[in-house]
Amino acid sequence: MGIARGTIKGIIGGVDDLVDLAVPRTCGGCGAPGVRWCGRCEAALHDVPARIRTTVETGVPVWTLGRYDGARRRAVLQLKERGRGDLAVPLGRAVAHAVLHLRAWGEVDGAAVTLVPAPTTAWAARRRGGDVVTAVCRSAARTAAPVCPVAVSPVLRSVHAAVSVGLGAGARARNARGTVRVRSLPAPGAVVLVDDVVTTGATLAESVAALARRGVAVAAALTVAAA
């Protein structure tokens, strides 16, 4: 009996080891072993949102969870480049808390909020294994639901934003102009434009303009990080 139990334990242990090999169990924010997301990184992302100035004027207040470094940077990169789709959940929680702060401050007004993910190209979405910003927004909506109804409307599409890599601020702004398409109108509610990282603000500006042309006012833009 003792031997049998030991064998079973050994098999189970072996299966666990295989699972660990396939999906490394490390914190997506700091690399700490044994957990997918640690308490310290959770706390680091739950600071109050900060308002920032962007190089390209967006026409709406731009808020961010913080600088593009530490847990924010690592989590965004792991989610986008390393297939860590599970990180959309903690990032979404952080976005939800920021949205609720903006509501409490009167920066986002209305009974309901609609999160509009910043546009991604179909190519980028495929490469990332899905649109990660939309996944973050859906997680945020679930977190905020008990406090405030939050809809997610992924209505923006980018035509060729991928080629902006390596361009200066002015060139990026020119490159972004006219490249955002509004496929359909977002759900009713105060519109908050959401992106992972803001650099110049060009994509946010073009998104705000594209929505405005369809008669949709954006209350605020919110990003996980500011580079």
| Binding positions for Zn ion, rule: CB under 5 A | 27, 29-30, 32, 38, 41
| 9 sits in which H/E element | helix 2-22
* Alpha-carbon distances, residue 202 vs 58, 152, 199, 215 (angstroms): 7, 22, 8, 20
| Least distance to Zn ion, CB of residue 35, Å | 7
Compare residues 97 and 103 and give the one whose CB is closer to Zn ion.
97
Contact at 8 Å (CB) between 219 and 191?
A: yes
| Least distance to Zn ion, CB of residue 69, Å | 14
Compare residues 38 and 210 and give the one whose CB is closer to Zn ion.
38
Compare residues 82 and 183 and give the one whose CB is closer to Zn ion.
82
Contact at 8 Å (CB) between 142 and 92?
A: yes
DSSP three-state, residue 180: strand
Contact at 8 Å (CB) between 96 and 216?
A: no
Compare residues 38 and 98 and give the one whose CB is closer to Zn ion.
38
| Least distance to Zn ion, CB of residue 37, Å | 7
| Least distance to Zn ion, CB of residue 18, Å | 24
